């Protein structure tokens, strides 16, 4: 891996292509306080200092895109349909990286089913990562790296070489001594929503915390 430029153009790749097999219903469109799960993640990304957002859709992509309504016209947003989504999450990651490879110096990977990632988390990771001048940045949860994760441009080729139903964790392991990890404290919630039980617990927690979910 060669040292790369540290220009500050950072794109976000929001992965939302999965078939929701464990949920049993299309989780991207699950309601969350007046918006859908994918809209919540998308609003957070668009509100952040990310220069551009690439939303990667796959399973039932036209239905999800239609449900986005006006937000789909945001000038920062590009929507990509990954027709190979059944090959696993790596195919969506590759589709997103290919979209930004010639225009951006860094790419942040976001998952649409992690509803507690907001614009403050995204912006803090961007700033800490860029200041570190390391090739990878991630949130630290316990002793492990968690999403979001950000990669410098000279790692894009390795990201595009991934196959199967795996994300970029292999690169975090390979370059473990070159990762900028930021700790957000005990209040950071990195849960994802995979099952009906996850969703019910999440909805219960929202009510208990009386969280406000900004959508603009």
Query: What are the pLDDT digits (tens) for 76-133?
Result: 999 999 999 999 999 999 999 999 999 999 999 999 999 989 999 999 999 999 999 9
**Two structure tokens written together for 170:** 């292999």
pLDDT above 90: residue 69: no
pTM, 2 dp: 0.91
Rounded CA-CA distance 164/128 in Å is: 31
Q: Please give the residue that has the higher pLDDT: either 138 or 168.
A: 138
pLDDT digits (tens, 9 = 90+) for 109-118: 999 999 989 9
Q: What angle do CA 38, 52, 154 make, to 5 degrees?
A: 110
**pLDDT higher than 80, residue 3:** no
How many CB atoms neighbour CB 81 within 10 A? 15
- Report all structural domains of the chain as residue ranges with CATH numbers, in order of start: 10-209 (3.90.550.10)
What average pLDDT does the chain have?
Answer: 90
Among 100, 92, 112, 111, smallest CA distance to 155 is for: 100
Q: Report which of residues 183 and 69 the model is more confident about.
A: 183
- pLDDT at position 203 is 87
Q: What is the pLDDT of residues 39-55, one digit of tens each?
A: 999 999 999 999 999 99
Q: Give the per-residue pLDDT at 86.
A: 92
Across 4-8, average pLDDT: 62
């Amino acid at each position: 891996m060669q040292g790369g430029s540290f220009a500050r153009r950072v794109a976000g790749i929001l992965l939302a292509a999965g078939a929701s097999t464990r949920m049993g219903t299309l989780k991207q469109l699950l309601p969350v306080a007046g918006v859908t799960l994918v809209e919540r993640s998308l609003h957070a990304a668009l509100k952040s200092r990310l220069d551009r957002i690439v939303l990667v859709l796959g399973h039932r992509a036209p239905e999800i895109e239609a449900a986005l309504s006006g937000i789909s016209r945001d000038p920062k947003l590009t929507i990509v349909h990954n027709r190979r989504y059944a090959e696993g999450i790596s195919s969506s990651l590759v589709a997103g990286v290919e979209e930004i490879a010639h225009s951006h110096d860094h790419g942040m990977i976001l998952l649409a089913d992690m509803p507690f990632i907001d614009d403050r988390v995204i912006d803090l990771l961007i700033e800490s990562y860029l200041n570190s001048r390391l090739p990878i940045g991630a949130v630290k949860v316990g002793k492990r790296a968690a999403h979001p994760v950000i990669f410098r441009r000279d790692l894009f080729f390795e990201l595009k070489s991934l196959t199967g139903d795996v994300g970029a964790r292999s690169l975090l392991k390979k370059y473990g001594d070159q990762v900028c990890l930021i700790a957000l404290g005990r209040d950071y919630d990195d849960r994802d929503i995979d099952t009906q039980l996850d969703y019910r617990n999440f909805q219960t927690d929202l009510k208990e915390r009386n969280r406000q979910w900004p959508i603009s």
